Amino acid sequence: MQLMHRIDERTPEPDAVRDTGTGTDSFAAAPDPARAPSRELLVAALQCFPDGVWITDCEGAVVYRNDVAVDLETRQWSRDGREGAMREVVFDATLLARLHEWGTYSAEFELSKAAVEIAAVHRVELRLQILEAADGHRLGISVHARDTSREWSREQVLHDRHIELESAYTQLKQAQMQLLQSEKMASIGQLAAGVAHEINNPIGYVHSNLGTLQGYVESLLTLLDAYEQGGAATANDALGERIAELRRKVDFNYLRTDLPLLVEETREGIGRVRKIVGDLRDFSHAGQIESEDWVMADVHRGIESTLNIVWNDLKYKVELTRDFGDLPLIECMPAQLNQVFMNLLVNAGHSITEQGHITIRTRALGDEVEIAIRDDGHGIPPENLKRIFDPFFTTKPVGTGTGLGLSLSYGIIQKHQGRINVESTVGVGTTFQIFLPVKRAP
């Protein structure tokens, strides 16, 4: 069936088409047959219509189309996986049968220029309507194609913006959670500083008392030695026998050897606790040096202090190598640099799944120093390497990382007029290099 042939002279008489208007004023009156519009007037009106208009007979043969319709026929039509010319996709036997059954039919189609490879896609709403005379017999079919591209484009823009807003909202919620976590950790740090200060006082006098006790024990043992030498002559009398029995009962020889060792080990343990508490207090910025004070400080001391804090997380799976060079004192904020060292060491430990190695290397390079922390963990993928210093970026599970550690570290190094570099290979490991000036520029 030829659906798209040339326009013929057949046009239904205007007064033969049922009038379904419900207008007011002069439009409410019945049309005057003596003033019926000419075919030329109707064609001119339809040509001004911004949408595509076709009029066909009942079999779908076109008897009229306006210029917009002619342009639409040159495009590829597609819907529900079908694509082709309009006569193939729209005016097929199935659609015409459905139209004659229902009396009206509407659907949306996508259109594109067939002559270009990447065509601009347009969308139209196509409406087909059976035209009937006043007596009810069918005259033909009207086809109206309204361009909905702009509406669809606006809907698409709104949809895209909705997705962007949802994504931004999700990111804001994550940022809020991370900030709350960061705030909580800051509060814990302040509490830890206060606890460290409170613990430091009793540990101080316990350490002092153990020193005094050690002196007392040594004096008592010396005295006992003297008694032992002086009482050897009376070993056969009753008192000597009693003393000998007591010596055997308390295992005096063992006590004499073990007691000084016990006191010494206790003093050593208390000394280690005292050092950890001191490091914790300094790390929590509660010491005598405030975080905003620039002082000449020892980088190695800061590294060792930080290692004492994080060693519990590392000692079960990390073999640590210190490759320290001779470094001068540098002008810095020690507490802030300790924060950088902690972030890098913790990340290095997290990158090692079972057993691994971390090397801390320091060197003096003229008017600056280098601190390198290398691990043999799983490494950082290239797509993440350029984002690791971005705030809130993290590859750790939710609740185990805030994504602020490396971002804060980068800011601290920048504040020290230094620079931080990173090299990483997946499956081989990661190296962070920090370069700091010995003296900051004025």
Whether the pLDDT of residue 141 is over 70: the answer is yes
Considering the domain 14-147, what is its CATH architecture? Answer: 2-Layer Sandwich (3.30)
Overall average pLDDT of the 222-226 stretch: 72
Res 81: pLDDT:
77
DSSP string, 224-287: HHHHHHHTGGGTTSHHHHHHHHHHHHTTHHHHHHHHHHHHHHHHHHHHHHHHHHHHHHHHTT-S
Overall average pLDDT of the 369-392 stretch: 86
CA torsion sign for 73, 78, 84, 88 is: negative
Higher pLDDT, 171 or 114: 171
The proportion of the chain whose per-residue pLDDT surpasses 70, expressed as a percent, equals 73
pTM greater than 0.95: no
Instruction: Identify the band that residue 1 occupies on the pLDDT scale cut at 50, 70 and 90.
Output: very low
Whether the pLDDT of residue 318 is over 50: the answer is yes
CA torsion sign for 280, 284, 286, 290 is: positive
From 200-209, 342-351, 389-398, the region with the lowest mean pLDDT: 389-398
CATH T-level topology, domain 289-442: Heat Shock Protein 90 (3.30.565)
The model's pLDDT over 78-95, given as tens digits with 9 standing for 90+, comes to 887 788 888 888 777 777
Q: How many CA atoms lie within 13 A of 239 on its CB side?
A: 7
Highest mean pLDDT among 19-28, 48-57, 148-157, 188-197: 48-57
The model's pLDDT over 143-155, given as tens digits with 9 standing for 90+, comes to 998 888 777 667 7
Helices 334-350 + 299-314 axis angle, to 10: 30
Q: What value does the mean pLDDT of the chain take?
A: 76
Whether the pLDDT of residue 10 is over 70: the answer is no
Quick count: other Cβ atoms within 10 Å of Cβ 10?
A: 11
DSSP three-state, residue 60: coil
From 289-293, 315-319, 331-335, 435-439, the region with the lowest mean pLDDT: 289-293
